[in-house]
Structure 1
Amino acid sequence: MQTVLVDTDIAIDFLRGAEYAGVIMKKLWNSNAAYLSILSAYELFAGMKEDEVGDTENFINACNIEPVTIAITRKAGEAYRLNRKKGVTLTSIDCLIYATAVVRGHRIATKNKDHYPDKKILLVLQSGSSEQVNAGI
């Protein structure tokens, strides 16, 4: 099975009980194909409420965590520069998550298709889309 880097938006939907996110995460976990950028872990910790600590930590611990390496930072910088030349400004975190997927050979599960420059590595999801999840992975 193709490995998938889970974007923060999908993780948040899972933690909020969205059915489609539960379907995709269970499928990825059962295949040991769920990966999470350390930067998404940061975003989850930064945005959680006090009563969400346990669920957030359990989610993060259930995923394979991808660190940021020098190769990833190089690729992210390249992606940022190339898109800036085209008049598109991407956030540093999105560039680093994108670069993690490229360098490590993952697809990105996200609802935020506009955050990533290379559409062919995306697994674009929509809320309530279990059929799309099953077809996509």
Structure 2
Amino acid sequence: MKKINLRICVFAMFSCLFSFGLAQSLDSIPIPFTMLNGDIIGDSHGRHRGPALNQPLPVVYYDTTEEFLYFESEELINGLSVQIVDESGVIIEEQIMTIQPDVYTTIDVSNLSEGLYFIIIYMNGRTYIGEFEPGGI
């Protein structure tokens, strides 16, 4: 009987992880984003083009244990422009990503020094900024 109860508990635990997302573990922190009125880091034309204007911003988590940024979305997002920027404004990482529905897309940030970093997403003709701190937790 104890084995059955243990299996039920384990099943319930995994069900919670899958229903709320694997990235939402105890070591994962959701990154809130703020929409900026203008680009703080622009390309030579001062603008960034994103996917279709109706798509919602992906959810991004910083995993403090594995040191990854996890991106998830309920919709397919093609051509998502993402930058990781340090406190002084230096672009550390720049990627054009595709986010598949119900599949985590990651950026490895384990090589970053301790400190404050910004994640900048250019999407829907807008600029969104969030922050995270490797080693600061």
* TM-score above 0.5, yes or no: no
- TM norm structure 1: 0.24
Larger RCO (alpha carbons 8 Å, 6+ apart):
1
Higher-strand-fraction structure: 2
Larger radius of gyration: 2
